Amino acid sequence: MMQLIYSPTSPYARKCRILVRELALQDVVTEIADNPFEDSATLLQANPLGRVPCLVLDDGQALTESGLISAWLNDRAATPWSSGWDDRRLEALGSGLLDLAVARRVEMVRDEAIYSSFWLGRRERGILRTLDELERECATPVEPLSLGGLTIALAVDYLDFRFPECEWRQQRPGLAALHGAWAGRASFAATAPPL
């Protein structure tokens, strides 16, 4: 049986965990919670990068990036989601938003002696620009059950989790609707990060 190594607070791992549920792959993928900051032997043996998510395949090979794992899971599903170039473009924008939000979080928890207001501000501006671009994309409704739709919904949900003061919903009804379509799904609730 394949093993998906994850952290409960990782939005990247959450994406893969949601796909396992949405694509009905629970019978072939076992989830193993791990803390990447503890450098456990389980994680480091599977992924020398020491990052989650990591999907260990039946033959022992490991897939180590959420985008790759998501595409692999989707490809193996009995009923895969359609995923054309436009969806991949939206997935990349959503992933970029996640990258900015995670980098902002890392900057905020660093020791004050090495804290950088420059990088914090740069990431905050990038987040706002990307939210505005995604709202423009939502003028034509984004298919929620797609890798792009899922990634975007996860990115804004991560903002709620780590930066509730962001108020990203203001002036962004399209993004709010996309998030709402996912928020009501059992897979989204089952993989929510702990409070």
H or E segment and range at residue 128? helix 117-137
CA–CA distance, 130 with 147 (Å, rounded to integer):
17
**pLDDT bracket for residue 108 (50, 70, 90):** confident
CA distances from 149 to 44, 57, 142 (A): 31, 26, 6
- Between vectors from CA 55 to CA 134 and to CA 188, what angle results, nearest 5°? 45
pLDDT one-digit tens code per residue, 156-188: 999 999 999 999 999 999 999 999 999 999 999
Number of residues that this document lists for the chain: 195
pLDDT: is 94 or 142 the higher one?
Answer: 94
Contacts of 164 (CB under 8 A, 6+ apart): none
Topology adopted by domain 2-76: Glutaredoxin (3.40.30)
Nearest CA to 182 out of 69, 18, 65, 66 is that of 18
Cis, bond preceding 53 (omega within 30 deg of 0) = yes
The architecture (CATH level 2) of 85-185 comes to Up-down Bundle (1.20)
114/158: higher pLDDT: 158
| Residue ranges with strand state E in 54-153 | 54-56, 62-63
Q: What is this structure's pTM?
A: 0.94
pLDDT computed for residue 117 by the predictor: 87
Burial class (CB in 10 A: 0-12, 13-18, 19+), 59: exposed
Q: Provide the residue ranges of all domains of the chain, joining segments of one domain with +.
A: 2-76, 85-185
